[in-house]
A = this chain, B = another copy of it.
Amino acid sequence: GEGKAKAERMFSLMDGFLKNDPISLQKDILDHVEYTVARSRFSFDDFEAYQAVSHSVRDRLIERWHDTHAYFKRKDPKRLYFFSLEFLMGRSLSNSVINLGVRDQYADALNQLGFEFEVLAEQEGDAAQGNGGLARLSACQMDSLATMDFPAWGYGLRYQYGLFRQVILDGFQHEQPDYWLNFGNPWEIERIHVSYAVKFYGTVEEQDLNGGKRKVWVPGEMVEAVAYDNPIPGYGTRNTINLRLWAAKPSDLYDMESYGTGDYINAVINRQKAETISSVLYPDDRSYQGKELRLKQQYFFVSASVQDIIRRFKDSLNDFNQFPEKVALQLNDTHPSLAIPEVMRVLVDEEFLSWKQAWDIVCKIFSCTTHTVVPEGLEKIPVDLLGSVLPRHLQIIFDINFSFMEELKKHFGLDFNRLSQMSIVEEGAVKSIRMANLSIVCCHTVNGVSRVHLDILKTKVFKDFYELWPQKFHYKTNGVTQRRWLVVSNPGLCGLISKWLGTDAWIRDMDLLMGLRDHAGDAELQQEWKMVRRINKIRLAEFIDAMTGMMVSPDAMFDVQIKRIHEYKRQLLNILGIIYRYDCIKNMKESDRRKVVPRVCIIGGKAAPGYDMAKKIIKLCHAVGETINNDSDIDDLLKLVFIPDFNVSVAELVIPGSDLSQHISTAGHEASGTGSMKFLMNGCLLLATADGATIEIIEEIGEDNMFLFGAKVHEVPKLREKAENHRVALQFARVLRMVRDGYFGYEDYFKSLCDSIEGGGDFYLLGNDFASYLEAQAAADKAFVDQERWTKMSILSTAGSGRFSSDKTVGEYAHQTWGIEPCRCPF
């Protein structure tokens, strides 16, 4: 009535956006110091200032996030739901203020309070809810989806502990839990009321339903999934989309009992164990076969997300035939593929659709992206495990497989070999479910992550499926977001680019970078370009000093390889090359030494805790560094630095300061690689094999502007077959001998590492590629001496990086795979 009208008047009177002038920002920041951080506004340190600033930014994010979702709700467009078990977000403060367009205002406001924005931004810890490429890709794509105004949601898990912290003790990797939430996380909004019960275990019973039969899953355990929303602001738009991560909490719906005292305490503690589901991120980036906890993590996040999506759909519509018009569901690799039987289960068992209806819907909504290159990397779940944890899902998968097998028989006849290879169920010692096969059968589109990756899928990994359904297979080359990887992390270069292009429109349209090509030879640009890069190198040198106590000269070439440690990524090849270089310098005459291009070799990356070889590579790197860095003969000509605890923030600092970066996987093993793109954008030259997305990079910038080497994808199988060890270079044998002979100590420990690449077992072809690797390195040295040429190559690298913006990738996905349109919230 009247009261209500009055109240409404009042509400709207009080509405209005938060202001971004310095005084308003200062007031907001100080209020957060006092009331949120609960410190005195007269005394707070940098970290507390960071917290207060972040909370004031959060307020601004929340405004837009509300408006965006109110607008989506009103327009009700088809939405994309992006399911990923990992999102590697890194820090949020700088990224947020830049995307909100208030970075300078904040810097000014803080300045007047006696704080420096950059210093506060450094206080933030990384959100490391993922392992590597796959997870960082999800994060980049979220940024692009927001910027391009797509009505998209991210769904994932909120791990209490993200990827372990790498601590190096005596050259060995040790793993520390990542206590990232200990100091609070202003970037998430706890949504206590958005929660769903997730079921596990139990049995499936049959009930009568309208004459027919109905399956009812009677669970043995229930866990509550509580939503934590992470607003993702777009750049140059008001749109701020949502990344919803689920945390496990004990369910209060379930089993009330009468206990004895001891039992009561134990019962409560036991129930709290439910939280274990979202405790820890699995630290392996390539395989997680058959662990119960991992399976529960997957289903937990999938079930909560599907419930959330269906709830949202039903808020506005109730005819499930319209579901595919409103929902596109993207699976990032096979980790979330339980979503397929889950949607089937909900539609059939809970919404009472017929199997046929449900199946038609499922086939229209799902698409997936695979990141695998070798069949051994594909995820499998033992049938026994799945049957115990998710009994109803196992039935549904069997039913899906039954129909699929029938279809196959019609198509290929009784080719049992083919049937058994394509079956979702793998027979054998341990009967298992092949998650990739399940995904391919149910998704309308299966995407690879680079052109060569699609070739590999077609001809090797999913050959049979490609023959059956060629139209399902596509690729979208991965990309990275220039907002984080240039604008946030390299403001110097960013300003320079905008100056020379006469616009900063490239921040939303990366193709514009091509315009730099016209100026690549311009001496003035080159001069400025070199200056900016030098400042970045100095910053990196200071970081190295702070982390390792080692002083390195910015005059040297900074040669960087940062990424997860893997045999296929061949950090070992890099280290052997460094030993070779060291050995050469040692044996040089004084006069020749003067001609050597000084190098700082930088390696960083984490090894999965259970990955022995990778851990040995880390130790070798330290052992070699110990010898080289303390050898007074060598002095500044060569340094080897291992940067511990590589993560997104470290990448943001290292990449802009690198001259040369290495992407040297054995051809055919890197599905795409995105690290290379970040270096490319920042004008760092690549030393690389023709693998993954590098092949496409070559097309953009030309072979002349990078240092290519090594066997090609199609040569690899033959090289392996022939086991052509006779072709191994003499130098290779020599450096390996140094390791074996204990030149760097620990010869027993390194023996298996040496054995793995000698004597016919060199699966990743280090021996084969060594000579050509050294040639490429020599070419890089030569190019570096000619700084004018080098700088031009650098400019052309940046200029050619436009194709590798995740905006492009996401645009293609939206258009070709998801069928969604932008939905731009008005200002």
Contacts and interface: CB of A to CB of B under 8 A. Distances in A.
A258 B15 contact: no
Given A58-B35, A276-B269, A282-B265, A174 B258 contact: yes
Interface stretch (A77-85, A249-257, A710-718): A249-257
Given A4-B114, A112-B6, A269-B276, A190 B184 contact: yes
Contacts of A176: 252, 256
A179 interface: yes
Contacts of A42: 11
A743 to B, nearest CB: 24
Nearest to A69: B40
A268 B265 CA distance: 23
Given A268-B161, A269-B279, A258 B184 contact: no
A275 to B, nearest CB: 8
Copies per complex of this chain: 2
A256 B34 contact: no
A680 B11 CA distance: 45
A262 interface: yes
A161 B10 CA distance: 40
A59 interface: yes
Contacts of A191: 38
Given A62-B34, A258-B173, A293 B280 contact: no
Contacts of A258: 172-175, 609, 615
Contact of A63 (B34, B173, B291): B34
A177 interface: yes
A164 B252 CA distance: 12
A241 to B, nearest CB: 15
A93 B196 CA distance: 29
A368 to B, nearest CB: 25
A600 interface: no
A214 interface: no
Interface residues on A, range: 35 or more
Contacts of A264: 164, 175, 283, 609-610
A611 B262 CA distance: 11
Contacts of A536: none
A260 B161 contact: no
Contacts of A252: 176-177, 179, 182
A96 to B, nearest CB: 15
Interface in A265-285: 265, 267-269, 271-272, 276, 279-280, 282-284
A210 to B, nearest CB: 33
Given A35-B59, A63-B34, A70-B40, A257 B27 contact: no
Given A38-B191, A184-B192, A284 B261 contact: yes
A711 to B, nearest CB: 31
Nearest to A160: B272
Contact of A62 (B30, B35, B282): B35
B260 A177 contact: no
A431 interface: no
Contacts of A177: 250, 252, 267-268, 271
Question: Looking at A26, A38, A256, A283, which has the most chain B CB atoms within 10 Å of its CB?
Answer: A38
Contacts of A256: 167, 169, 174-176
A467 interface: no
B35 A14 contact: no
Nearest to A265: B280
B114 A7 contact: yes
A189 interface: yes
A827 interface: no
A338 interface: no
Contacts of A416: none
Contacts of A3: 114
Nearest to A33: B11
Nearest to A55: B35
Contacts of A14: 26-27, 30, 41
Given A35-B59, A66-B34, A283-B264, A250 B114 contact: no
21 contacts: A4-B114, A6-B112, A7-B112, A10-B26, A11-B41, A11-B42, A11-B113, A35-B62, A174-B258, A175-B257, A184-B190, A258-B615, A260-B609, A261-B282, A261-B284, A261-B608, A262-B610, A263-B610, A265-B282, A265-B291, A269-B279
The 8 A-B pairs with the shortest beta carbon distances in the complex, nearest first, are A261-B610, A264-B609, A7-B114, A260-B610, A35-B59, A174-B256, A259-B609, A38-B189
Given A35-B59, A269-B280, A272-B276, 20 more contacts: A7-B113, A11-B41, A14-B30, A34-B63, A34-B66, A35-B58, A38-B191, A161-B272, A167-B256, A169-B256, A179-B252, A182-B252, A184-B190, A259-B610, A260-B610, A261-B284, A261-B611, A262-B291, A262-B610, A268-B280
